[in-house]
A and B are shown apart, each in its own frame.
Chain A
Amino acid sequence: MKKKLLTILGIGLFFSFFIGAFTHDFNLAFKFGLAYFILYYLPLVPWMMLIKEFSDLDTAFYSIILGVIVSPLFYLAVGALEFRLTKTVFIAIPLIIFVLGFLMHFRRKKEREKPKEVLEKKEEVKILKKPTESPNTEKDDSGNS
C-alpha cells in the first residue's frame, strides 16, 4: 500500500517537474511543478486508489486524465457563485478533494476490516470453545458425567 502510494506520487511529481523544466528556470519550474501536482494530480490519487483493479500506473494515468477536469469543475462553481478565485481557493479545493478521498479510502478499509474482525472473532470463539468441549468429552470418555 505504502509502496503503491509512493510510486504513484513519484510518477506525479516526476511528470509535474519535468513539464516545469521547460521554463528553463529552476525557481519557476519548482513552483509550476508543485502547483500542477497539487492542483491537478494529487486530488484524484486517493479516489483512483479506491478502484481495486487499478495498478500503480493505471492510478497515475487516471489521476492525470481526471485531474484536469475535477478541480476546475469546483473552481467554476466557486467563480459562478461570484466568490473570488484567490490563490487560497485554488489550493484549498484540491486539498479538500484529496482529504475527502483519503477519508473515503480509510472508511472503505474499515468496512473491509469489519467482516474480517467478525470472522476472526468467530474463529476465536470456536477456538475458545474447543478446550471447554474437550474436558467434557474427556469427562464423557471417562464416564464421570
Chain B
Amino acid sequence: MDISKHAKWIILFLFILGVALRLQVDGIYVDNPGTIKAADAFYYVLSAENIAETGKYGYFPYYITDGSDDMIDAHVPLMLISGSGLTSTSGLKAWNTVYILVCIIFSLPIIIAFYFAKRLFNSDHVGILASSILVVPLFIGKWWYLMYIGMWTTAIGIALAFVCFWLVYECVNAPKDWKYIMLGLVSIGTLLFHFQDLIMIAPLILFVFFNLWKIHKLTKDFFKKIGMILIPNIFFFIFYFSRFYTVFTSGRSSFGWQNQVFTNAPYYVNINHLGYLLLGLALLGLLLMCLNYKKYIFFIGTCIYFSFYLYIFPKITAAAFDIMRSRFIIIFIAALFIAYAIYFFVINIHKYLKLPKITMVLAIVTIFIVAGLPGQFALVEQMKSQHLTPEKYSVMLWIQENTPKDARIFFLDGYFQHSNYYSKRVSTAPEIPELQKHINKFFATQNLSLEFNTGLGMSTELGTSFYSCKKNFFFLEKMCFEPSEDIQKITDFDYVVIAPISEQVVPYEKAMADLLMTKYNYTQVYAQHGTLILRGGK
C-alpha cells in the first residue's frame, strides 16, 4: 500500500478527531455558559459577547469597569474578535464560539507535527506517528490544562508558536516565497492572540533573517523576503501597538531580573509529565538524531534554545510566571522525537519480521489513541461542573431583563470566579476566603458584618492595563480612572443576590436576608431554586 497517497487523509481524520475530543472536555452548552470553568474565560467570553452585541471593539463592557464605558481593553484582540464574528453571524453564544476556536487552534499541532516530521525525517510514517501522539496525549489533565481551565489565549499562543517554529524550520531548510508570507502571517497571529509566545519564537525568526542575509547579502531578494515576513506585522504597529505598549510598561509584563523560587502550580508542566515510557522514547529519538547530528543540527540547536528559554530563563527573570507557561510547547516538540524513536523500532521489525510498516504504524496510532481515552473520559467527567448552571444563569437573565442598566448588584454567595459579571451589571461577589470569614464570625457571635473586602470590577483579574483610556488613535492615557474601594458595604447596593451554596450556610444567608429586609427596607423580588434577589429601598 502506498502510504503517501493516504497519509494526509489519515491526518485529516486525526485532526477532526482531535478537535472533537477537545470540544468534549468543556462541552458545548447552548442555553447556559457551562463551558466556562474559571475567571479568565468569563472575561474573554464577556468581551467577545460585548463586541458582538455593540459592534464596538477595544473597550471593556461598562459592567466590568464600574460603569465607565470608555476604558480601553488592551488585551490581545484576535481571539475576542474571532469569537464575536462567529457569534454575530451564527447566533451561537460567545462561550461556545470562542471555545470552538480555541479547540480548533489548539488542535493545529496535529497537522503541523505531520508536516514537521515529514520534512525532518522524510517519512509519512513518522509524520502519522507524531500526529497521533497529539490527538489525545497521555496525562491530558496536565497537557490540556490551559485549554479546559480557560487560559485560552495562552493555549492558542503556544499552538501558534509551534506553527511558527515549523515555518522557521521550513524557511531555513526548504525556502519558498509562500513560506515567508505564511511565517509573517502566523507570527502576527501569534502576537495578536498571545504576544508573549512570540517572544519565545522571535530569536528563531531573527535567525531566518540572518540566514537570508547569508544567502542573498543586501540584495533586492533579501529585502523582498524580509518584507514578506514583516509586512503582515504592519497590522500590529498600526492597530495595536499603543495598547501593547500600555500593558508592557504597566509593570505586569515587566522583564526585570529576579532570582525566582518556584512553587508547584497546575499551569506549569514539565518534561516528566510525558510519562516514563514516552520520555524514554523521546530521549532515544534525541539520541538517534544526535548520532546523525549533521542532518539535524538546526533542529537540535533550536531545542537547546527552547531548553534555555523554558528552564534557565525563568530562574532569573521577573516574568517567570509567564515564561514557564510556555512549557506546554514541550509535548508538540517531544512528539517528533517520540515518533522518530518508534519508527526506528518499526523499521527494524520490518527488516527482520517482514511485517508491513503501515500495519505497524496504524496499530501504534490506535494504541496511542486508545491509551489516551481513559484520561479523556476522566477529564470530561471532572469538567462537568459548571460555574453558571441553568438555574444560576436564569437569575442572571432575570437581572439583565428586569433591572436598570446602572443598577449595582451584590452577590452574597454561590457566584465565584467572576461569574457574577454575567448579570451584565456593575457587581461584586466576595471570594470564598472572605465569605468564609464572615460565615465563621456569624456562627461564633451571631453578629452579621455588612462590610466586605471585595473590590468592584475585574481589576484584580485584568491588571493595570485596565486603568487607561483613549487619548487619540495612537496614544493611551494611563490611570485616568480610579478603581473602586476595596471595602464594599452590602447596603450600598441596589440589589442583593443570595444564592445557595451549602446546607450549613443557609442560617447565615437567612439571617442576612432578614436583616436587609427588616432593617434596611429591602424587598424580595425574585425567589427561585433557592435563590433570592432583594431590591434596596433607596
Contacts and interface: CB of A to CB of B under 8 A. Distances in A.
Contact of B192 (A15, A39, A51, A73): A73
A102 interface: no
Most buried by A among B19, B23, B82: B82
Nearest to A19: B100
A145 B385 CA distance: 103
Most buried by B among A19, A39, A81: A19
B88 A90 contact: yes
Contacts of A87: 88-89
Interface string A66-100: 10111111011111110011110011000000000
A56 B257 CA distance: 49
A69 B189 contact: yes
A98 to B, nearest CB: 15
Given A28-B90, A35-B86, A75 B81 contact: yes
Contacts, number: 143
Contacts of A40: 82, 86
Contacts of A60: 12
A68 B9 contact: no
B255 interface: no
B86 A76 contact: no
A5 interface: no
B483 interface: no
B324 interface: no
Interface in B52-83: 55-58, 77-78, 81-82
Nearest to B193: A69
The prevalent SS among residues of A at the interface is helix
Given A35-B90, A76-B57, A66 B182 contact: yes
Interface string A1-36: 000000000010001001100111100100110111
Contacts of B438: none
Most buried by A among B84, B89, B185, B186: B89
A103 interface: no
Contacts of B185: 66, 69-70, 73
A51 B240 CA distance: 31
Given A73-B78, A73-B232, A79-B57, A65 B239 contact: no
Contacts of B210: none
B77 A91 contact: no
A85 B77 CA distance: 13
A84 B89 CA distance: 14
A69 B188 contact: yes
A138 interface: no
A91 B88 CA distance: 10
Interface in B1-55: 8-9, 11-12, 15-16, 19-20, 23, 28, 30, 51, 55
Interface of A: 11, 15, 18-19, 22-25, 28, 31-32, 34-36, 38-40, 51, 55, 57-58, 60-62, 64-66, 68-73, 75-81, 84-87, 90-91
11 contacts: A18-B20, A19-B100, A32-B90, A36-B100, A68-B101, A69-B188, A73-B78, A73-B232, A76-B240, A85-B88, A90-B88
Interface of B: 8-9, 11-12, 15-16, 19-20, 23, 28, 30, 51, 55-58, 77-78, 81-82, 84-86, 88-92, 96-97, 100-101, 104-105, 108, 111-112, 163, 178, 182, 185-186, 188-189, 192, 232, 235, 238-240
